[in-house]
Chains A and B, each alone.
Chain A
Amino acid sequence: MREPSETPNDPGASAGGVAEPIALPEGARRAEGSPLVRASRVTKRFLHEGREVEILRGIDLDVYPGEMLAVVGASGAGKSTLLYLLGTLDLPTSGTIAYDGEDVTRYSSARLSAFRNEKLGFVFQFHHLLPEFTALENVMMPGLIRGAARAPLTRRAKELLEEVGLEGRLGHRPGEMSGGEQQRVALARALVMSPKLVLADEPTGNLDSKNSAAIQDLFFSLNERLGTTFLVVTHSSELAGRMRRVVTMRDGRIDSDEAVAPRGGASEPPRVEP
């Protein structure tokens, strides 16, 4: 994990001093209907070398459809753990995580798999593509897992790769692509099943500034055009600064939750030259 040069848990720093931070009570701020995800009193404890470590100490968080949400905080604040819990990749020690009012922590493993497949998309820091498969196949993979028909799936994957500016690299394997290209493939893969929520863990953590900006632009453009909800865990103050809502975590708790006036992220051209 890369330590950020700035202190991202400082709200002033993350807002960049441009937008005025507005602190609002949880849930009262949005009038766009019921939340997409509601985490209530979520705790997570690990047993580490015989000692119990409390990573999350009671998280309450609502994510609304169409939101662009950044989770920031120091290393070890529990950001990634929260993301994995919201992504149902791990189960909370206590508390509930409800999607559309349904508690998914009670789902069976098989049902959770199906749920993840259809409703969630993941983008990881190390992009986590399957090295044996081509870009196109990687993007198709969630659909293949679901057993979707190949022809429409291939069409959709091609469209998405075109969307992220990789139409010329369909047959390339991850090893033959640059980090920025890989991350764009990962983004296309996250979107292939048209999920409601895309969870991104340090999506720009390993990219240079140019590629990083390109990925961020893609996020905003997709959010604008498709209405996809993004929850991004990041160290990057630049990325967090462009988000409309920034949740700051400290020691397993939510330190602040601020709606920020957008800094014009979506106004930039969505397409990036590869």
Chain B
Amino acid sequence: MEPSERRGVRDRSLVHAAAGVVLVCAGVVTHRALLGSLAARWASVGVLIALWGSLHLGLGIGAWRGESERERWLHLGWPAWVLPIVALAHVATGGLLVAWVGQQAAPDPASLWLLHGPSALALSLVAAAALERASQAAAEARGLVRTTVGALAALTLVSGEWIAAAVVSYADHAPSVGDLEFTFAMPDESPIQRVLQSVDSLAAAAGLSAPLYVAAALAGLGLAAQLFTIVAAFWLIPERIRRGFWLVVDAIATLLFVGALWTLPFVPEEDARDVTLPAIALAITTLFVVRVLFRAIPRLLDALETSRFEVMAAARMLRAKKSGFLTAIGGLSILAVSFSSCTLATTLSVMGGFRADLQQKILGNHAHVVIDRTHGTFGDWQRTLERVRDDRAVSGASPYVSGEVMLTSALESPGGAELRGIDPDTLGDATDLPRNMRFGSLDLLRHPERILDLPIGVRTGSLLGPSSSLDVEEDVERDAGARGDAADGGEVRPSALELADRPLRDDAVSGRDSILDEIDRLLDGLDRDGTARPARSNGAREAERDVLPGLVIGQELARSLRLHVGDEVTVVSPNGELGPTGPIPRTRAFRIAGIFYTGMFEYDMRMAYAELTTAQGFLRTGDEITGIEARLHDWREADRVADALRRAIRRDDLRVRSWREVNRNLFGALELEKLAMFITLGIAILVASFCIFAALVLMVQEKGREIGILKAMGAEDGAIVRIFLSQGLLIGVLGASTGLGLGYLVCFAAEHFKFIRVNPEVYYIDHLPVSVDASEFAWVGVAAVVVCVLATIYPAVLGSRLRPVEALRQS
């Protein structure tokens, strides 16, 4: 290029640039000046002038760079990496402004756009420069596509914003809008919604909805593309600046983590409703751990590289360059292992959670050891009971008699149940039943006459009873509450009140007692007046007054029969006396003395407890019992103690079974399910191992030349095998450890935050139960690593078999 020509180009570009600067300044000033004046509707003209100016600036730069040096650039230069930074800043300030405006009672749109304007202007300038560079760059310039798309997205976003700004500033100052305020938002809406609605209504009032929607579409499209390109163009930022960025992120993460350690609770309170703070703590911890990992993995690989040559080569091949993070294929293999081991560990934990939940319920409601006959009842049981109680491992034992019956209430058709005669005094030693009572009490079985003396709160199922998220319970309570209006209050006796208070669960609010007292006192007073009481037929009242034997039933059964404490229920035994037309069922009336809730549908639906002798009389077993239930100090010893008891009682006609044996089918099914899950998800790991397999076979193919070089330099076949095995091991260990970490995170969150809700009608539990078993996690990890190492054997041997001559000649 001739010097004179060069000077001409320079002059031209200088003219462009000067014009650009002047126009941009003029545009900004015009915009600002017009906004405050009467001609505010023309303020957007200033914006257009500024855009025109920025175009001139771009042209000036273009003339300077593009025409003075006709060669094409291999590097896009500063616009490529400044663009994502400016775009990020612009998007961030936009978000902050929207949030800020949302907090304002009556924000001024002009101030909003003025605040956002400079960054939009800067972004459009950088985008113009980037676009200009991209148009001049060589086709193979790094980041060409990212920069071009990013610049176009930025221009789209900014133009959308400018149009919206113009619309809003026009609408805000248009006479037709009048005194319409910028804000009339609903209090519970998010700030962004409030702003958008205000803008929307303003534009609608000015008849400018269409341009506003166009602007919104443009800005939305630009924003989405911009966000993608910011992420994609992140790697165009010079490494030093990126390192600085991560340093800032790490510093923030560390500060947050240290702060969280000091101030935030990590494990939420039991049954806590609000888990926001622990969730924030968990998120901070996760961020911190992830950043630590990102810092640690290259260091770890560095450390590995100082060890044996094989490990060094493996570690280096996995990340392709020193101080690099990971190669794509290595990273993908690690991710595959990571996700599959995470899934496997999580699933096993959930299965374990269900199992633990079930086991806990079974252990709570079931005795640990049951002594009974295969069929029928047995007598002379007192001595056996004594012997069982003599065993040191046994903490308590209680006899029972059981039989199949049907229950019918006044309101519902009969339902089948198992009637159990129990000893209320000793049952508590053998099962958790007394502690599972929701309403009423087991002691009432001994004293059925007291049932009717219960305070109203207990009898109707506690108007102010403990709240629970379970629908079933609410259902009962609602029924109870509805019925409570008509119920008979009865007299209050201090002893009965005390009696009733005990089973009303430990979380009784102190205020509740006084309220219940108050209700009782009022009803008592009404009773004495005899006027305001709801009228009920004398007959029904007399029937309720009858002292009937008590019966304790499960919550589900109570719900299906619509029964409440104090209600009467008819129990029908199918094996009655033989009449002229066959067996005549025997019936007897009981009164509900209590309702229990175990959390096991099976129990809550089927069990009905009565006093032992009453049941014996009803079931016609005489003095005989069906079995003895025993509870142990340590449930894990159930099988051993069962054997010991079998020898101790010395009765061949009785069988002694542990809870495991009694529920063998259930646990067997659970174990089988778990095994099936393990196999299914193990296959997932296997599939991940195919990925490793394929990756390493490819790597062997790709690294054939290098294998040849290593062999020429004296590496043995074994060393080559060890290099690839080490890679498999590294992939396995990194994948498994990150996967298990992720799995633990998911399990921790699911266990403590109970964020995965399940339908309690189906599962009888409202959240996904999770039980983390360290040994299971360890096994998953070991399995993942072993599978990875196994998957590398073939590629490793394949690599070691390469003959150096062939490998070297490949190039």
Residues of A within 8 A of B (CB): 84, 87, 89-90, 109-110, 113-118, 122, 124, 126, 128-134, 141-142, 144-147, 150, 173, 189
Contacts and interface: CB of A to CB of B under 8 A. Distances in A.
Contacts of A124: 808
B805 interface: yes
Given A84-B805, A128-B811, A132-B317, 12 more contacts: A113-B716, A122-B713, A128-B705, A128-B712, A128-B808, A130-B706, A130-B710, A132-B320, A141-B309, A141-B710, A141-B713, A145-B719
Given A113-B715, A126-B811, A128-B808, A147 B309 contact: yes
B805 A173 contact: no
A5 B316 CA distance: 42
A8 to B, nearest CB: 21
A69 to B, nearest CB: 19
Contacts of A84: 804-805
21 contacts: A84-B804, A84-B805, A89-B805, A90-B805, A110-B717, A110-B718, A113-B715, A113-B719, A115-B714, A117-B715, A118-B714, A126-B811, A128-B712, A128-B808, A141-B309, A144-B309, A145-B710, A145-B713, A145-B714, A145-B719, A147-B308
Interface in B687-711: 705-706, 708-711
Contacts of A132: 316-317, 320-322
B370 interface: no
Contacts of A150: 306
Nearest to B320: A132
B548 interface: no
Contact of A114 (B306, B714, B805): B714
Contacts of B493: none
Report which residue of A89, A128, A132, A142 has the largest number of chain B beta carbons within 10 angstroms of its beta carbon.
A132
A144 B317 CA distance: 16
B811 to A, nearest CB: 5
B797 to A, nearest CB: 14
A113 to B, nearest CB: 4
Interface residues of B, number: 28
A134 B305 CA distance: 13
Interface string B396-435: 0000000000000000000000000000000000000000
Contact of B713 (A109, A142, A173): A142
B803 interface: yes
A52 to B, nearest CB: 18
Nearest to A90: B805
B717 A116 contact: no
B309 A145 contact: yes
A130 B709 contact: yes
Nearest to B709: A128
A131 B710 CA distance: 12
Main secondary structure of the interface of B (DSSP, over half): helix
A144 B312 CA distance: 9
Contact of B716 (A89, A110, A173): A110
A70 B530 CA distance: 129
B711 A89 contact: yes
A109 B803 CA distance: 11
Given A90-B803, A145-B719, A116 B321 contact: no
A84 B808 CA distance: 10
B714 A116 contact: yes
A211 B728 CA distance: 41
Report which residue of B321, B710, B711, B716 has the largest number of chain A beta carbons within 10 angstroms of its beta carbon.
B716
A26 B309 CA distance: 43
Contacts of B710: 130, 141, 145
A128 B707 CA distance: 10
A143 B806 CA distance: 24
Contacts of B312: 144
Interface string B316-346: 1100111000000000000000000000000
Contacts of B708: 128
A204 to B, nearest CB: 17
B286 to A, nearest CB: 32
Interface string B794-811: 000000000111001001
Contacts of A87: 712
A146 B310 CA distance: 11
